């Protein structure tokens, strides 16, 4: 990244994927960066995720893609089957070029490589500092303490942001997530595989590679659940779930059988909402603080990485902060809004109480999806490139094509 303009003082709320990425970019550009995080020490929250090709390109910009790939698992295909129809009912192929493939990875692995580059670039991290508001160009921390003043405040504090005015609609379905050992010879190791029953039941297995310190490959196991159904699920007990899981997807039983207690799962609840005005008045919201939806299209962490790259690029091109923020908003607006719309359309087909949508998914939409040029469009959809990820960026850059 080219160093342009005078160094700025940048304050970032949240040491998640987006906060760490933007912190590393801006520190590398010569700015003074401080991240405030609520935990005793920055730590990842969650299990597995897919870094799509657009996200891989951002990791390459930061110089950490090789380290991420060493701990993850390349993905060539997303595949789903259904109880109600024989054969495949969802297929999205990434293609044979590794640069265009997904990367299944443990969130802790991705966090680790981003945290490492932040430390190498001299980013300051202040732990035990939950940001609850702002006072001019200062963050207000829990307990009332004010931080020093910054030229720019970045809200990367995720879906729990107390800075963002976003009004997200709670989605009716969430998911239970856990990490288990990979089982050889059961499921192809280069694909995200899911099994549906109508749209109200889904189980998935995502290969996530071998995290640092592990002695064998891992998988993220997830189970769709109504957002308000977690307490009832726990009360029913683990044995009841195991019987249900085995009946639902016998071939994946060896993954599910590794769950030893209900607490092995973490319940994730999702919302859908988008800020129209993500930046202005000396502050910018990125990642889930600016836009959130279900993980059905597998874009969540990638959106945060793209936001980080786009913001750094805008600040590189514009010495004036107001101009930089306006440019940032324009580069990301239509990609974000387009994928938000597509997520709103696709999610109910896989997570809802509608049997009609599931029937259409299996009997009409999947057959249509096999007819050219739709397979190519589906590939671009999951790669994150159906729309330009960072509008205006030269086509030679992977986050533009």
Share of the chain above pLDDT 90, in %: 91
Beta strands in 94-213 (DSSP E): 102-106, 124-126, 131-135, 138-141, 152-155, 169-170, 173-181, 191-197, 201-209
**197 phi/psi in degrees, rounded to 5:** -130, 110
For the record, the structure tokens of 308 come out as 């980080």
pLDDT, position 395: 62
Query: Residue 400: pLDDT above 50?
Result: no
Domains and CATH numbers, the chain: 9-169+271-383 (3.50.50.60)
Least confident piece of the model among 4-18, 269-283, 373-387: 4-18
Query: Residue 396: pLDDT above 60?
Result: no
Q: What confidence tier does 399 reach under pLDDT thresholds 50, 70, 90? A: low
Q: Tens digits of per-residue pLDDT, 74-115? A: 999 999 999 899 889 999 999 889 889 999 999 999 999 999
Least confident piece of the model among 35-49, 230-244, 316-330: 35-49
Mean of the pLDDT values across residues 50-75?
A: 98
DSSP-assigned letters across all residues of 204-228: EEEEEE--TT-SS-EEEEEEEEETT
Q: What is the pTM of this model?
A: 0.96
DSSP-assigned letters across all residues of 317-362: H-SSHHHHHHHHHHHHHHHHHHHHHHHHHHHHHHSSS-HHHHHHII
Alpha-carbon Rg for the chain, nearest whole angstrom, is 21
Closest CA to 117 of 192, 53, 62: 62
Q: What is the chain's length?
A: 401
> In whole angstroms, what is the distance from residue 401 CA to residue 396 CA?
7
DSSP-assigned letters across all residues of 31-62: -EEEEE-SSSS----SSEEEE-HHHHHHHHHH
For the record, the structure tokens of 13 come out as 């709320």
Closest CA to 170 of 350, 301, 292: 292
Q: What confidence tier does 129 reach under pLDDT thresholds 50, 70, 90? A: very high
Q: What confidence tier does 163 reach under pLDDT thresholds 50, 70, 90? A: very high
Alpha helices in 101-143 (DSSP H): 107-120
CB atoms closer than 10 angstroms to residue 376: 11
Average pLDDT, the chain: 95
Least confident piece of the model among 1-15, 87-101, 265-279, 315-329: 1-15
Q: Tens digits of per-residue pLDDT, 248-258? A: 999 999 999 99
Q: Tens digits of per-residue pLDDT, 326-375? A: 999 999 999 999 999 999 999 999 999 999 999 999 999 999 999 999 99
Q: Tens digits of per-residue pLDDT, 196-218? A: 999 999 999 999 999 999 999 99
Question: Helix or strand or coil: residue 288?
Answer: helix
Query: Residue 55: pLDDT above 70?
Result: yes
């Amino acid at each position: 990244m080219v160093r342009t303009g005078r160094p700025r003082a940048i304050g970032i709320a949240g040491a998640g994927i987006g906060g760490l990425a933007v912190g590393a970019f801006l520190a590398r550009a010569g700015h003074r960066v401080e991240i405030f995080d609520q935990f005793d020490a920055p730590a990842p929250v969650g299990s597995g995720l897919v870094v799509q090709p657009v996200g891989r390109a951002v990791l390459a910009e930061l110089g950490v893609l090789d380290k991420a790939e060493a701990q993850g698992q390349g993905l060539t295909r997303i595949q789903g089957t259904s109880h109600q129809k024989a054969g495949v009912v969802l297929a999205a192929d990434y293609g044979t070029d590794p640069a265009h493939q997904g990367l299944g990875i443990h969130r802790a692995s991705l966090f680790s490589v981003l945290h490492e580059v932040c430390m190498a670039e001299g980013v300051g991290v202040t732990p035990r500092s939950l940001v609850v508001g702002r006072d001019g160009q200062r963050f207000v921390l829990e307990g009332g303490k004010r931080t020093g003043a910054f030229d720019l405040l970045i809200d990367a504090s995720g879906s729990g942001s107390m800075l963002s005015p976003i009004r997200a609609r709670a989605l009716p379905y969430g998911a239970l997530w856990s990490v288990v050992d990979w089982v050889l010879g059961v499921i192809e190791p280069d694909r995200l595989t899911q099994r549906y029953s109508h749209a109200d039941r889904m189980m998935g297995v995502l290969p996530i590679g071998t995290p640092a310190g592990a002695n064998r490959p891992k998988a993220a196991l997830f189970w769709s659940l109504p957002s308000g159904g977690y307490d009832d699920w726990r009360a029913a007990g683990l044995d009841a779930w195991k019987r249900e899981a085995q009946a639902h997807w016998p071939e994946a039983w060896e993954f599910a059988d590794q769950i030893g207690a209900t607490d092995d799962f973490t319940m994730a609840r999702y919302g859908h909402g988008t800020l129209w005005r993500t930046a202005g008045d000396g502050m910018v919201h990125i990642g889930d603080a600016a836009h959130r939806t279900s993980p059905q299209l597998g874009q969540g962490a990638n959106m945060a990485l793209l936001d980080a790259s786009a913001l750094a690029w805008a600040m590189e091109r514009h010495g004036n902060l107001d101009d930089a923020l306006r440019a940032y908003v324009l580069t990301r607006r239509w990609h974000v809004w387009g994928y938000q719309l597509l997520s709103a359309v696709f999610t109910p087909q896989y997570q809802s109480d509608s049997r009609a949508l599931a029937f259409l998914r299996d009997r009409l939409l999947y057959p249509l999806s096999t007819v050219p040029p739709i397979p190519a469009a589906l590939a671009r959809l999951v790669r994150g490139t159906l729309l330009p990820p960072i509008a205006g960026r030269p086509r030679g850059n992977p986050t533009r094509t």
